[in-house]
Structure 1
C-alpha cells in the first residue's frame, strides 16, 4: 500500500498488475479506513483497473465494504437516535456517508425482495 496525493475526487485505487493499493494522503483516518477496505475487496477479487459505478465489481466492493464496516446492531441504534440522517449516522459509526448509503440501499433492497 502507498499513499500520495491523488487527483480530486479519487480517494484510492487498486492496481492489479502490481497488487498495489494507493490511497489519497489527504484523506482523514476514517476515510482512509473505508477506502482501504473497499480497495482490499478489489484486491481479494483480482479486479482490474477502475470500473464504472454500475459495474459488478464496483457494486460488490461497495456492498462488502458496508458489510465489513457496519455492525447491524450499532447501525440500528444510530438510526433510532438520528432517524434517516446519513451524515449523523456516519459520524456515529465512524464511516463515510457513502458507506451508510450503500448499507441503506442494501436494507431497502432486502426488504423489497
Structure 2
C-alpha cells in the first residue's frame, strides 16, 4: 500500500456517519448488508447513505456487489489488513507478533465490560 491509498482510506473514515457504516459492515462480515438495512439500523436517510457509501467505496474500503435486484455492501477485510500492515510496518522492530497480546487484551476487556453492563 502506498501513502496516497492509506490517506484516502483514513480520510473516508474521518467522518462519524461513515465510520458507523463501516463498523456495521465489519459486524456483518462476508455476508454484507443492503442499503435499506444499513439505513434502518443507523437511522440514516437513503440519500445521505448513498453519499457516504460512495465515499467508502471510492476509498476501496468497501465493495459493492449486485445480487439480483439488490446491491450488497461488504467491508474489504483484505484492504483493512493491508492498511494495518502499512501503518505498523515499522513497528516494534517489525515484530508484529508482540502486538497480538495488546489487541487481544483490548478485546477481552471490552467483552468483560459488556458482560458487567448486561448483568
- TM above 0.5, yes or no, is no
Greater Rg by CA: 2
- Larger RCO, structure (CA 8 Å, separation 6 or more): 2
Task: Using structure 1 for the length normalisation, give the TM-score.
Answer: 0.30
